[in-house]
Structure 1
Amino acid sequence: MDTEIELKFLVSPEVGAQLSTQLQSYQILQQDQQHLANTYFDTADLALRKMDAGLRIRSQNGEMEQTIKLAGNQVGGLHQRPEYNVPLTVHSPDLSLFPARIWPEGLEVAQIQASLQPLFSTDFLRRRWLLAIDGTEIELALDEGEVQAGERREPIHELELELVKGDVSQLFELAEELVKAGGLRLGAVSKARRGYQLAGLSSSPRLCMLEPLALQPQDVCEQTMVALLHKGLRHWQHHEEGWLANASLEWLVQLREGVSLVHQTLLLFGELVSHRINSGWIDDLLWLQQQLSWLDRAQMLVHLTADKGHYLRRLDCRKTLVSQLLAQQAQLPDATQLRTLFYSPRYARLMLGLTHWLYRQDWRAGLAPAQTAQLAAPVAELARQRLDDSWHTLRHSALGKPELNGAQYIQQKGKLRRNLMVGLCFSDLYPETERMTFRMPWLDILRGIEDLDMLSPLLDLRDELNEQDSAELDEWLARKQRFLLEALEQSRAQALLLQPYWR
């Protein structure tokens, strides 16, 4: 058995041409290229897929080999999976050739064997380089070809960096050098998963809301921190893949939620591990949030222009407003610019930095005894402290004042979002009824603030209208603002009277 440790990148087609030049400064032990044809097998009810196992036969230069990859670990684009390889003389898989110990207890291997059938294939040219770096050997494999399922095809442009032997940190250092040229994006989806999706045997990525992490009061701080970071990163990458397959705004909004969870988790646990965090990728994390800051504006414009401006239906100047709002939409980042972002050197550096930090888990190194004890302590006490701190900050912000105007409410939107994210991080530690009784009014207030802020693009257009249309818009905006402010003030007065559920 081998355990693969590899970084997977999806790459722009032009990366192949620049890669040879980038590798000239390294010691190349071996270089070749080969044509690989792979057929993937499973049962009709996907028995292997349900085990998170992948079975293939690879044909190369007239020789055949069957491989099974079992469930492993994935952090960002770093994949670790047990792999078993057996040579074949016929193009038909034989599960009995694999060690019996690899199968779950009670699994009817013979029954699965009898039901195996080919599902899809991959066909690609692989260019390989075996590099030696300070005693570490790393294989680079650039694959270009296609996945095929029936009549359906999808291109393959991937780069894999696999640790052959030595220090895994060298794998990341090499990757950091390669991404400087751009065109590389850490990939969380394997060729096999893409094949299942293409064959219609596995669902395409689905848009999903960020849900609370399953927690128990006895879970320790370190365990909770790592689980929250993994959850945020998975949510982020899932919606990145979803957006690339279906470029709609909702996917980007949820991608931002995953990024926000990662950032908020680092803030919540920062006192325990901050001295071990690489500040470079933390800066990149803040940069990415800034790169996505236009999403609120985009959501407003989508709502205001939907159904030819149905939201503005009572205004005689609706057509003029919609035309100007659409012009604003056209100025926002488009799909091409976003793809450039996701394949940019800084974005790749961020993903590599976070992935490496999670893989090493080196926040433990150099900790004082008191910090080590805090990391090993049950998370319930830390949760209470953080929720208290967050509540204190909210109560002493403008949201705790006797009365607010529209501009003041809008200024508090980010603060309230962060407060609610803190609550989400520790939600499962508390009874749902008590928790939601407290959170729902604040969630309603956030929605109210977002509705109030949605009027902002219209305020920006007032000076571009004639006098009559401007007066009509002013009157309409005043009514909307008055109604929203009254509702917000009532909700806030009630929310401030609620007793915290975590005490």
Structure 2
Amino acid sequence: MLQGNTADLLAYAHTLSAGGGLRLGSLSKAARGYHLAAGNPPREVRALPLLRPAAKATVEQGLSEALSLALAHWQYHEEVWLQGAAPAREAILTAITLIRETFVVMGNMIPRKATTHLRALLADLSPLIGRADCDPQSLCYETAYLQCKLALIAWLILSDWQKNVDDDGRRKLNGSFKRFSDMTLSRCAAELKVAFGRVLSPEEYQQQLPRLERRIMAFHLLSGAYPAKKVLSYILHWQALEQAILLPGTNDVEHMRRQAVTQPGFWRSAQTR
């Protein structure tokens, strides 16, 4: 560890985490001092930004940037949550959903066994964060919470998962992230149009909610090469449908469904049809 071996540093952090009471913060001591000197103003909850990798990014680079974006979103909103802003909890859950959807979207390149441990940790943590009586001052210092974040960081930095990738997967990971995104956007949109292409019962709408949430995350992940105004307008229609389903007392579901499924795509393969 003294020689700068990252794997040893992460292993030591994992050992320390076993005792509980520790938290992986996102702010340096200096940053905290500046914030306090400025009067300790409350930090705002931020919307999940679009992923914007470099123009010629490979799929592997897009994968790394997607997970880094999710981790940064998580880390920032953990600080906000600990300051007492309850809506920040949903932002953390959004970050976790983005991580899980990233693995789903790229599942034909990365074997499931390469993500099994991390996905299991995320699946166990999500309901703990979502509990109505969850106390961030307690949860954010628990062993399971810290070890989940350490596992994500290790997955990103150490890249041990690459030894499980076969030649076909390696070829796909070296391909264009933009081309991959266009093809996947078409598949995601087609999937939602099938799922919501007819009038559904209230129970069926509830059953489709997880799919809708995941695909909204995929749009955030894959749309960064296009103008934000077009992308966010497209996503907004699906989010409006999501909110209408979550509020079953409203009469807006069918209107929102029709608007969402009939809107044109903004990505290249959709525009050339």
Place the TM-score, normalised by the shorter chain, in its bin: 0.7 to 0.9
Which runs of structure 2 are paired with 1:18-97 in the superposition (5 Å)? none
Change (3 A) 1:240 1:408: same
1:156-305 superposed matches below 5 A = 163-165=1-3, 167-200=5-38, 205-245=43-83, 247-274=84-111, 277-294=114-131
1:400 maps onto 2:197 in alignment:
yes
Larger Cα-atom Rg: 1
1:378 aligns with 2:187: no
1:79-98 CA deviation, whole Å, 9 max, x = no partner?
A: xxxxxxxxxxxxxxxxxxxx
Which amino acid in 2 is paired with 1:357?
W
Aligned residues of 1:276 and 1:362 also touching (Cα < 8 A): no
Distance 2:11 2:115 in 1: 14
- Aligned residue type for 1:358: L
Task: Name the SS of the counterpart of 2:2 in structure 1.
Answer: strand
Cα displacement (A) at 1:286? 1.0
With CA pairs under 8 Å and 6+ residues apart, which has the higher RCO, 1 or 2?
2
Deviation sequence 1:407-440 (CA, Å, 0-9, x none): 3323322221111111111222224454345333
Aligned to 1:233, what secondary structure does the other structure show?
A: helix
Q: How many residues in Structure 1 have an aligned counterpart in Structure 2? A: 268
The letter for the 2-side match of 1:272 is M
Shift of 1:273: 2.7
Residue in structure 1 matching 2:231, options 421, 435, 448: 435
Trace 1:102-113 onto structure 2 (pairs within 5 A): none
Q: Aligned-pair distance for 1:497?
A: 2.5
| Identity over aligned pairs, percent | 25
Please name the residue that 2:140 is paired with.
342
Q: Kindly provide the amino acid, as one letter, of the partner of residue 226 in structure 1.
A: S
Determine if contact 2:230/2:266 at 8 Å carries over to the other structure: yes
Q: Which protein has the bigger strand share?
A: 1
- Report how far residue 229 of structure 1 moved: 0.6
CA distance in 1, matches of 2:112, 2:203: 38
Q: Residue 254 of structure 2 aligns with which residue?
A: 489
| Counterpart-to-counterpart distance in 1, 2:237 and 2:115 | 38
| Partner of residue 154 from structure 2, selected from 351, 356, 362 | 356
* Counterpart secondary structure, 1:249: coil
Per-residue deviation, 1:209? 1.1
What one-letter code is carried by the residue in structure 1 that aligns with 2:205? Y
Deviations 1:171-192 (A, max 9, x none): 2222222222211111222211
Report the Cα distance in structure 2 between the residues aligned to 1:410 and 1:249, rounded to whole angstroms.
25
Q: Are residues 242 and 494 of structure 1, via their aligned partners in 2, closer, same or farther at CA, if it must alter by over 3 Å?
A: closer
Aligned to 1:498: 263
Give the aligned partner of residue 333 of structure 1.
133
Seen in structure 2, the aligned counterparts of structure 1 residues 429 and 170 have a Cα distance that, compared at 3 Å, is same
Letter in 2 for 1:371: G
TM-score, normalised to structure 1, is: 0.49
1:345-386 CA-partner distances (Å, limit 9, x unpaired): 111111111111211133444643332221121112211232
Stretches of structure 1 that go unaligned for 5 or more consecutive residues are 1-162, 295-331, 453-480
Q: Root-mean-square deviation (CA), in Å? A: 2.4
* Aligned residue type for 2:61: Q
Instruction: Determine the C-alpha separation between the residues in 1 that align with 2:222 and 2:173.
Output: 16
Structure 2 CA distance for partners of 1:368 and 1:277, relative to 1, 3 Å: closer
Structure number with higher helix proportion: 2
* Distance in structure 1 (CA, Å) of the matches to 2:186 and 2:94: 23
CA distance in 2: counterparts of 1:334 and 1:285, whole angstroms: 16
Inter-partner Cα distance in structure 1 for 2:147 and 2:238: 36
TM (normalized to structure 2)? 0.87
Q: Deviations over 1:3-29 (max 9, x none)?
A: xxxxxxxxxxxxxxxxxxxxxxxxxxx
| Residue matched to 1:426 | 222
Q: 2:247 aligns with which of 451, 471, 474?
A: 451
- The verdict on how the C-alpha distance between 1:381 and 1:164 changes in structure 2, with shifts beyond 3 A counting, is same
Output the CA distance in 1 between the equivalents of 2:51 and 2:219.
Answer: 11
The AA in structure 1 aligned to 2:175 is A
Show structure 2 runs of 5+ residues with no match: none
> Does the 8 A contact of 1:216 with 1:428 survive in 2?
no
Q: Which amino acid in the other structure matches residue 361 of structure 1?
A: S
